């Protein structure tokens, strides 16, 4: 597989300051893409993001603070990215909100926040980014789901339901936008951790994953992002409407 499989593509990444998002920025840049990074967090608190801009220049990298549940901010962000780069070829949607409470203890506010942060954000991103992708000749969309979309777990009703909805939204996007040259797929991660997160969790987590995962460990963010990069690239030109599990065999 070419290390430059995203050469000359402009890719938007949401949830860009999370563990998976930051890893995706660096991976996609290494694969030749120009990257636009969006997150609701204050990017000023992440000096490494500014270093990326210094390293790659504004012609390869831009970042902005935006709330993906806010229609006006999503609309403005898509327009800014298109103005900055002159095109948009795809996006990798990682934004979400996950309350970890039982149904009885989940407030309506938390339920709606999870739906907005995880599912509504995916709808808004497609609504306002896809027209620029169409104007650029088509492209690819990758939404990040979760194994909890189909594997029930207590205290995750809002998040699991939102991710299940995101998978269905992905299929409908694939259906509606196929005539315009846009493909849409979802990746479905299982457990994944950075090296630092694994060190913080200690041996108990490692022992648990040895029992649950067929490969005997947690995944690394880049193992998910490599699949996303493939789905965003022309190498996956015959793949759309697919829900890709990247979970080390947890489903099995």
Whether residue 59 lies inside any domain: the answer is yes
Weakly modelled stretches of the chain, pLDDT under 70: 1-3, 149-150, 152-155, 193-195, 197-202, 205-211, 251-252
Please, which residues have CB within 8 angstroms of residue 206's CB and are 6 or more apart in sequence?
A: 198, 217, 218
Q: What is the pLDDT of residue 197?
A: 66
Whether residue 193 lies inside any domain: the answer is yes
Can you give the CATH number for the domain in which 86 is found? 3.40.50.720
> pLDDT (tens digit, 9 = 90+) per residue, 173-230?
999 999 999 999 999 987 776 667 666 666 776 666 666 777 777 778 899 999 999 9
pTM of the model: 0.91
Q: Are 228 and 9 in contact (CB under 8 A)?
A: no
Q: Are 231 and 240 in contact (CB under 8 A)?
A: no
Whether residue 251 lies inside any domain: the answer is no
Whether residue 181 lies inside any domain: the answer is yes
Whether residue 3 lies inside any domain: the answer is no
Q: What is the pLDDT of residue 1?
A: 45
- Is 238 catalytic? The answer is no
Pair of tokens at residue 130: 């896809």
Q: Are 185 and 158 in contact (CB under 8 A)?
A: no
Q: What is the pLDDT of residue 210?
A: 64
Q: Are 251 and 30 in contact (CB under 8 A)?
A: no
Q: At 51, which helix (H) or strand (E)?
A: helix 47-56
Q: What is the distance between the alpha carbons of residues 26 and 42, in angstroms, rounded to a whole number? A: 19
Task: Name the catalytic one among 91, 96, 159, 244.
Answer: 159
Whether residue 1 lies inside any domain: the answer is no
User: How would you classify the pairing of strands 10-14 and 182-189?
Assistant: unpaired
DSSP code per residue over 181-210: TEEEEEEEE-SB--HHHHHHH-HHHHHHHH
Whether residue 2 lies inside any domain: the answer is no
Q: How many domains does the chain have?
A: 1
Q: Residue 67: which domain range?
A: 10-246
Provide, for the chain, the percentages of residues in helix, strand and coil under a 3-state DSSP scheme, each rounded to the nearest 5: 50, 15, 35
Whether residue 137 lies inside any domain: the answer is yes
């Amino acid at each position: 597989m070419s290390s430059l499989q995203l050469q000359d593509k402009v890719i938007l990444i949401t949830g860009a300051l999370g563990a998976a998002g930051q890893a995706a920025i660096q991976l996609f840049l290494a694969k030749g893409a120009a990257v636009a990074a969006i997150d609701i967090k204050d990017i000023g608190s992440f000096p490494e993001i500014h270093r990326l801009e210094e390293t790659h220049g504004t012609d390869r990298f831009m970042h902005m603070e935006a709330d993906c549940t806010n229609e006006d901010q999503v609309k403005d962000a898509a327009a800014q990215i298109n103005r900055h780069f002159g095109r948009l070829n795809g996006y990798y949607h990682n934004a979400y909100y996950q309350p970890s409470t039982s149904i009885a203890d989940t407030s309506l506010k938390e339920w709606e926040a999870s739906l907005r942060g995880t599912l509504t954000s995916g709808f808004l991103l497609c609504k306002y980014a896809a027209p620029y992708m169409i104007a650029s000749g088509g492209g690819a969309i990758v939404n990040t789901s979760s194994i909890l979309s189909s594997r029930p777990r207590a205290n995750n009703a809002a998040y699991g339901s939102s991710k299940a909805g995101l998978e269905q939204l992905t299929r409908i996007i694939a259906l509606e936008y196929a005539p315009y040259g846009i493909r849409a797929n979802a990746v479905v991660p299982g457990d994944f951790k950075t090296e630092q997160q694994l060190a913080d969790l200690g041996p108990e987590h490692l022992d648990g994953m040895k029992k649950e995962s067929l490969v005997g460990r947690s995944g690394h963010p880049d193992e998910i992002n490599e699949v996303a990069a493939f789905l965003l690239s022309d190498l996956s030109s015959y793949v759309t409407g697919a829900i890709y599990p990247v979970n080390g065999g947890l489903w099995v």
